[in-house]
Structure 1
Amino acid sequence: MNPIPTNIITGFLGVGKTTLIRHLLSHKPDHENWAILVNEFGEVGIDGALLREGGAEVKEIPGGCMCCVAGLPMQIGLAQLLRRQRFDRLLIEPTGLGHPLEVLKTLSDHFEGVIDLKACLTLIDPRHFESDRHLANEIFRQQLDVADVLVATKTDLAEQNHLLAMETILRQWQLAERPLTTANNGELDQHWLNLPHNHHIPLPDHAHHHHDNYPAATLPPPDEDQPIVCKHHQGQGYHSCGWAIHPSRVFTLAALFNWINGLTCDRLKAVVITDEGIVALNMAEGVVKMLELDECDDSRLEMIHSDALDGERLEQELVACLMAE
């Protein structure tokens, strides 16, 4: 078999990776079969429901960085995915808090001849270049270093000072020569996927860190006896709290939307069954967006924050958004 054209699509939390992949899927050739290996920091798993609607075969690796422990979660997940059928393209979406160099290392060590690594696309929000928290973050810098193409997102929300700061930092970090394009609302031309990959910095010799609880326990699905299942995660200076809710429990959309708008967190994603249908909710930089979906197995919501989250209080508030039984 010919190696599968493969792209890594990386970028920090909330920069729009899933939105961009959904757009790419909506414009893929009808005769092609695409696969997606997606990694989420939290352990609930929400992106899979969003991406499967695009007609791709999806394998989720929840619970932190998929390259931990010498890349074993990624090796297993990717091997399982590639055994399912023959694919015409593979997209790998690491968590916004994952180490892309470790992902490249795993691909190089274990999948040579199986994949044909094309351009690594790094999504960047210009507003982050005036954020000391982002500029000082090792993962943020690493995501930029591995980029074959820099994709600026949310430029419609950026001001001139953000764009000037981005230009200055890229020049200071010797990245100004990398191809740079924009993709507001995830709209990116597919020709960028076919550019070659170049190794810009040396790959690590070993895994960067270990998780004491690996392999991560699979989140049990909610059932009638336990209609709400909660899972917490912590790492890389961030905390997550997520819930899976049995499909018999239906949310009042207006109440849920208002509650989410009042939350303080770095990132929130949800796929929920409501009194107005199935919707996906996405909050980043304090802005909540909503998308209608056709189906989902259950409701799922997860938030990520740099400060510890009060899971018990948040769950009480979440439950209050459910319709009366």
Structure 2
Amino acid sequence: MMNAASKKSTVFQNIPCTLVTGFLGAGKTTVINQLLASKPIDERWALLINEFGRIGIDGSLLVNFQDEAIDKNSIAIREVSGGCICCTSQLPLQIAISRLLSDHHPQRLIIEPTGLAHPRELIHQLSAPHWQTALQMQAVITVLSGVQWQQDKYRSHDGFQAHVKDADVLVINRYAHLSDSDKQALQAWIAELNTQVHVIWASTVQATPDNASLATTDITALNNQLATPSHIIAQQRTVNISHPPKRSVGLRPPNTALSPTSLSSATQANKDNLVSPDAELPYRYHETQQDMILAGWRLPAHYVLHADELQEWLLRLPSWQRIKGVVHTSDGWLQINFTPDSLTTSTVASQLDSRLEVILQAGDESDHMDLEDASPVTSAIDWEVRDRELMTLVI
């Protein structure tokens, strides 16, 4: 009989691992869904999702793996929320990967780092000696949105460029509106950042208004990369990333006064105990990372919010870059996935609680105006007002 030590050695030996990166809102979920849907039926896969915020929503947004044709037990998903696994402390990454490997014994691991991170530190970490025998690193797949690239604020953004620089394969989507000259300019821009990257121009097939998939030829090209070794990871690059402190506060139930005093007390009580899955609901957190402001809310499942008014409220948030959530509404449980170029909602099964997360662009009054009527965000945004506004939407 195989003893525990030999079994562990077998589990951690040369497991193919793929990074799927891309800037915030690039379309990584569609690509990962496609990879999961293409999984051989007799294989066990694992997916590690790193969310920059603290609420934990992306696992719910990955819906295709729940298809009846796919054995749910053959795909394990673990979310690491509340910061970037690309930071200089490797402990969260080591724990998350080790647990996935030991608990589920996958035959393939896919890692999705947050879209706000510079992936080079993660690449460096996964090149460390203690992973070189456990993980067999395959091509780094990076998703790039043609809609985003056309805007100078993205093209000139260090974080946006970082994903292209550290890619083995670049999957370009949302480019149908680009002219031939635009495509040539995009190719030249890519070549300046990364001369070795392999480019896939991915066309999509719209199965339903809320569900898109890649064309068959693109799926084949993408799947081929799962068995292609990464030359980027072999270079063992490094980057330094710092993280400012985070804040979390308790909220009052609807129809209850939300006074500055009560919020201050909640903040004081939680300042050394950041938002956790076991925290008393409802609550909200907010934090600043790089030049982005993140905020999230978790509400009890019995709170039912006006569906239309909720979406209108979310879209009025200033200079938002990403909005996502799974929320109990007057139209049932809704999955919300908004980017500046795509507003998607769909119905989902009942959840244990409602979750919302928003990412806003911080800046001066003249910076980062995404929508004509949007106002810029500053670090002094009044979150108490936002809390009260959200609570008024509860039926």
TM category (shorter chain) comes to 0.7 to 0.9
> Within 2, Cα distance between the matches of 1:90 and 1:126?
28
Instruction: Say whether residues 1:112 and 2:145 are aligned partners.
Output: no
Further displaced range: 85-94 or 276-285: 276-285
User: What residue is the counterpart of 2:365 in the other structure?
Assistant: none
Stretches of 4+ moved more than 6 A in 1? none
Which residue pairs with 2:94 in the alignment?
A: 75
Aligned match for 1:285, one of 340, 354, 366: 340
The answer to whether the aligner puts 1:261 opposite 2:315 as a matched pair is yes
TM-score of the aligned structures, taking structure 2 as reference length: 0.73
1:237-316 equivalent positions in 2, closer than 5 A: 237-264=291-318, 265-307=320-362, 308=378, 309-316=381-388
Contact 1:63/1:233, CA 8 A, preserved across alignment: no
Report the CA distance shift for 1:32/1:283 in structure 2 as closer, same or farther (over 3 A).
same
Checking the alignment, whether the CA contact within 8 Å between 1:7 and 1:118 is kept in structure 2 is: yes
Secondary structure at the aligned position of 1:69 is classed as coil
Q: Is the 8 A contact 1:266 1:306 kept in 2?
A: yes
Aligned partners of 2:92, 2:203: CA distance in 1, in Å? 30
TM-score, scaled to structure 1: 0.87
Q: What one-letter code is carried by the residue in structure 2 that aligns with 1:115? A: L
Q: Is residue 94 from structure 1 mapped to residue 113 from structure 2 by the alignment?
A: yes
SS at match of 1:227: coil
Instruction: Provide the rounded CA distance (Å) in 2 between the counterparts of 1:147 and 1:280.
Output: 30
Structure 2 residue 73 is matched with structure 1 residue 18: no
**CA displacement at 1:149 relative to structure 2:** 1.0
Partner Cα distance (1:174, 1:21) in 2: 23
Once the two structures are superposed, the pairs formed by residues 189-208 of structure 1 within 5 Å of their partners are: 189=219, 190-199=223-232, 202-204=235-237, 208=240
Q: 2:275 — aligned with what?
A: 219
Question: C-alpha displacement at 1:218, in angstroms?
Answer: 5.2
SS in structure 2 at match of 1:74: helix
Measured in 2, the distance between the counterparts of 1:161 and 1:319 equals: 49
Between 1:296-305 and 1:123-132, the stretch displaced more is: 123-132
2: CA distance, partners of 1:115 / 1:228: 40
- Greater relative contact order (Cα 8 A, min sep 6): structure 1 or 2? 1
Aligned with residue 141 of structure 2, among 113, 121, 138: 121
1:29-53 Cα shifts (integer Å, max 9, x gaps): 2222211111111111111223377
Structure 2, unmatched stretches of 5+, are: 1-9, 66-71, 205-211, 247-271, 363-377
Counterpart residue number, 1:47: 58
- Paired residue type of 2:104: Q
CA deviation after TM superposition for structure 1 residue 262, in Å: 3.2
Would you say the 8 A contact 1:153–1:186 is kept in 2?
Answer: no
Q: What's the CA shift string for 1:52-110, capped at 9, x where partnerless?
A: 77233122121232121332221122112222121021110011111211111111113
1:35 paired to 2:46: yes
Could you tell me which of 295, 298, 319 is aligned with 2:391?
319
Identical pairs, percent: 30
Aligned partner of 1:208: which letter?
N
Q: Distance in 2 between matches of 1:68 and 1:196?
A: 24
Which is further off, 191-200 or 156-165?
156-165
Matched-pair contact (CA < 8 Å) for 1:280–1:292: yes
The CA RMSD over aligned residues, in Å, is 2.6
Give the superposition deviation at 1:260: 2.6
Residue identity matched to 2:384: E
Shift of 1:136: 2.6
For the structure 1 residues 209 and 260, does the alpha-carbon distance in structure 2 shift closer, same or farther, using more than 3 Å as the test?
closer
CA contact (8 A) 2:88 2:121 kept: no
SS at match of 2:26: coil
* Contact map agreement 2:282 2:297 (CA 8 A) in 1: yes
Query: Kindly tell me: are residues 53 and 320 of structure 1, through their superposed partners in 2, closer, same or farther at Cα, counting changes over 3 Å?
Result: farther
1:180 aligns with 2:197: no
Following superposition, the deviation at residue 161 of structure 1 comes to 6.1
Partner amino acid for 1:42? G
Give the superposition deviation at 1:166: 1.5
Residue 232 in structure 1 maps to residue 264 in structure 2:
no
Write the distance in 2 (CA, Å) between the matches of 1:125 and 1:22: 17
CA distance in structure 2 between the aligned counterparts of 1:80 and 1:183, rounded to whole angstroms: 36
How far apart in 2 are the matches of 1:136 and 1:63? 27
Q: Shift of the alpha carbon at 1:263? A: 3.1
1:168-192 alpha-carbon deviations (Å, 9 max, x no partner): 3123334376232315335251333
Letter in 2 for 1:220: S
**Structure 1 gaps, min length 5:** none
Aligned length: 319
